[in-house]
Structure 1
Amino acid sequence: MPVNYHTPTPAKLFPVAGVRLGVAEAGIRKLDRRDLTLLALDVGSRVAGVFTGNRFCAAPVQVCRRHLELGSDLRALVINTGIANAGTGEPGWQVATDTCVAVAQLLGVADRQVLPFSTGVILEPLPVDRLIAGLPHCVADLRADNWHAAAHAIMTTDTVAKAASRRVQIDGKSVTITGISKGAGMIRPNMATMLGFIATDAGIATPLLQQLLREAADESFNCISVDGDTSTNDSFILIATGQAGIECADASAPAYAALREAVIAVALELAQAIIRDGEGASKFIAIAVQGGQEREECKRVGYAIAHSPLVKTAFFASDPNLGRILAAIGYADVEDLDVERVRVWLGGADSEVLVADKGGRSVSYREDDGVRIMREEEITVRVDLGRGTARATVYTCDLSYDYVRINADYRS
């Protein structure tokens, strides 16, 4: 079960003017499950995307990049789960382009205005005939209030659907931001999330939209790790339909600061939901690193701790073997780190204890306190590097027996 997370009800996921969603059971890998999703966008919508840094990036990622290079006037997104269409070579590229052509014909748009996305098993062919056969059902199901169904239809090993929504008042107008994401394993984004889609009815100029997307990714999906693996299919998309009556041409626009804050809040909620639903996770862990010379330095330390199997298994066992955290900090490639100045705290819901300072265990630390905090479902590790003012927070989960079981049985 996910750590303190429940999918929002349909009523709490606000429609975004200019976006309609439809889902279908296409039988792409398994029968009797929703596995195909279509987003139809009104004319005038702008779209930005960031994608995986994995060199074995999937065919749909390659097609998405190409179509975005041709313009931001996208009209549709199509998402399948079950088969990732990754490691499939030229046939995989053809399947992705055939998918775009089929969507374009149904919606009366150009195929370059369609973005395809896939998630699931790598190195297996995507049955495009089943996908295309399911598309008319998606079109018939297109509705503005279908975010809840879409969140379920993009799941793979997720145990819960992940969604978030905000309505904010900006310059006297109501602006909506709604998004969905999927992911539970193979999580160490190198640009964004496994699959994430956020839409707003605000108007945002294309260059600013791409900037906002990268900033949102950096503050959210690029700060999470379940297992340190970067997927072949990671994609994060931001859509601005411009139907709320607010237009941001650049970052100096009066409405932009509030809009940016709301978009990043939705992205962070979606990213944290992925960690809370990490495969086999029983604990949600925030690693807050401060006192660095630059933010990237702080993130390296955070990720060193988050990726360590020894640290993660200690959290699963509620075993305060906290020297493992010091070891991870020490190999995080921080040049000229003075360990005498490093301090580490362990925090729970109601308290925080100093674990290490002056190069070793704090004289005030008691193991009973460490055990008590590590038994909690939500834990914070706070690290002060003592060498600057930069800070960053990385989110992770523990590593349990179930992680091995889920991934051993993934294709069964």
Structure 2
Amino acid sequence: MNTLQTVEEIKQIKDGNILMPQGFKAAGVHAGLRYSKKDVGIIFTENPASAAAVYTQNLVQAAPINVTKDSMAVSGKLQGIVVNSACANACTGEQGMKDAYEMRKLAARKFGLKDHAFAVASTGVIGEYMEMEKVKKGIEALKPENTRQAAEDFEAAILTTDIVTKSCGYETVIDGKIVKMGGAAKGSGMIHPNMATMLGFITTDAAIEPVDLHLALSAITNDTFNQITVDGDCSTNDMVLVLANGEADNEPLTPTHSEWSVFLELLKQTSENLAKQIAKDGEGATKLIEVNVHGMQLKEDAQMMAKTIVGSNLVKTAAFGADANWGRIIAAMGRSGVKFQPDQATIMFCDIVVLNDGEPIRFSEEKAKAYLENESIIIHVYLKEGKETGTAWGCDLTYDYVKINGSYRS
């Protein structure tokens, strides 16, 4: 099945969310961890779901990540995840581990389940202990439902410095059955691969075993979540977790299934959508930047160069000021660690050519500035090393980023 056919079979659902697939419920409440906003959330499925996850590559990993890994190791299946914002529960030693395990137990016992049926995720300030009495009251107050409001409450409960909630939903047909997938995410600052600094949750009613779900997630992560960057800092708490409860009743998906590529595309589009929403909502950001590098021998090299360009502070500030300073782009290319021929490089802001085969091109500064003032900017780099392409997403760097992070704990 070719890529074009696969893409055409995927339908994005307007206002889609994590509760679009059959069998999932969610909730979010204000427990007092934050001053006034929701701060404890839950996703739940009555039918045990195959689970797959990817985690931060930071050597320092928060207690909830270790607890989630522990839950996943038992059977590869979960029935829910409990999440809090305001406190990362990272670098909190033995007490932090006890608190993360306690969160898991409280959520599981609420539904009469064994502890390992739940995963745990936390986000917020590093180095502070959980206020467990508030967390306990929050978990007790959670009443998961399958409503749009319940999905929105969960989306709000996982935010930190985010300005907006992030969600999406897609559907397709596999084995003649409608298969749905929904997602929710948070992430605004301390974002850089691998992973991106974020929490991402994806639900689907597809039938698939844990090992195959992990294969699918691993196959698309490098092209989606690992291709966004905001500020070059890799967090201690990043996690993307996928739950598949099988309620669509399709034949179990495996790499040999005739529509395996359809499922991969469904997961890729969901993940890319969430990743781009995170990049766009970078702390203080006003613009989403997409960089496409074309014509490399290796896809990994194209991706590395694209990430280097979009992560350059000089490129990001130029984007903020709507300055078509392409010299910053080629300088970033040169330090990306990727070998290429500079005299064969072409750079474009959308359709505006500013460098052609290593030669500067006279272009309209007014037209370029007008384009760079848009909320979404696309930069193309063309090389002649091969046929591979890599894409990365990021945002501009503004005065507000400094303001936000200069007083993050206050």
CA-to-aligned-CA distance 1:141-192 (integer Å, 9 cap, x gap): 2112222221111111111110001232333222111110001111113135
What stretches of structure 1 move > 6 A for 4+ residues in a row?
8-13
CA contact (8 A) 1:193 1:221 kept: no
Counterpart residue number, 1:144: 146
* Residue 392 in structure 1 maps to residue 395 in structure 2: no
Select the residue among 8, 15, 20 that pairs with 1:15: 20
Counterpart residue number, 1:357: 356
Shift of 1:249: 3.7
CA contact (8 A) 2:197 2:235 kept: no
CA contact (8 A) 2:19 2:26 kept: no
Counterpart residue number, 2:369: 371
CA contact (8 A) 1:14 1:166 kept: no
Write the letter of the residue equivalent to 1:38: I
Unaligned runs of 5+ in 2: 1-12
- Determine helix, strand or coil for the equivalent of 1:82: coil
**Alpha-carbon separation, structure 2, partners of 1:293 and 1:71:** 40
CA-to-aligned-CA distance 1:236-272 (integer Å, 9 cap, x gap): 0111000001133412212322222122111111111
**Alpha-carbon separation, structure 1, partners of 2:395 and 2:17:** 27
Counterpart residue number, 1:4: none
**Alpha-carbon separation, structure 2, partners of 1:216 and 1:179:** 15
Shift of 1:80: 0.2
CA-to-aligned-CA distance 1:119-144 (integer Å, 9 cap, x gap): 01111111122111211111xx2112
Counterpart residue number, 2:5: none
CA contact (8 A) 1:36 1:78 kept: yes
Write the letter of the residue equivalent to 1:26: A
Shift of 1:368: 3.2
Counterpart residue number, 1:339: 342
**Alpha-carbon separation, structure 2, partners of 1:12 and 1:134:** 22
Counterpart residue number, 2:7: none
Shift of 1:14: 4.9
CA contact (8 A) 1:246 1:255 kept: no
Select the residue among 66, 86, 107 that pairs with 1:103: 107
Task: State the TM-score, normalizing by the size of structure 1.
Answer: 0.92
* Residue 27 in structure 1 maps to residue 25 in structure 2: no
CA contact (8 A) 1:196 1:235 kept: yes
**Alpha-carbon separation, structure 2, partners of 1:77 and 1:33:** 20
Counterpart residue number, 2:174: 170
**Alpha-carbon separation, structure 2, partners of 1:65 and 1:274:** 24
Select the residue among 203, 206, 212 that pairs with 2:207: 203
User: In 2 relative to 1, CA 266–302 (structure 1 residues): closer, same or farther, beyond 3 Å?
Assistant: same
**Alpha-carbon separation, structure 2, partners of 1:244 and 1:124:** 42
CA contact (8 A) 1:346 1:355 kept: yes
**Alpha-carbon separation, structure 2, partners of 1:280 and 1:88:** 29
Shift of 1:357: 2.7
CA contact (8 A) 1:45 1:73 kept: yes
* Residue 405 in structure 1 maps to residue 408 in structure 2: no
Say how many residue pairs are matched: 396
- Percent of matched pairs sharing the same residue: 34
CA-to-aligned-CA distance 1:310-330 (integer Å, 9 cap, x gap): 111111011122211110001
**Alpha-carbon separation, structure 2, partners of 1:164 and 1:280:** 23
* Residue 191 in structure 1 maps to residue 195 in structure 2: yes
- Determine helix, strand or coil for the equivalent of 1:39: strand
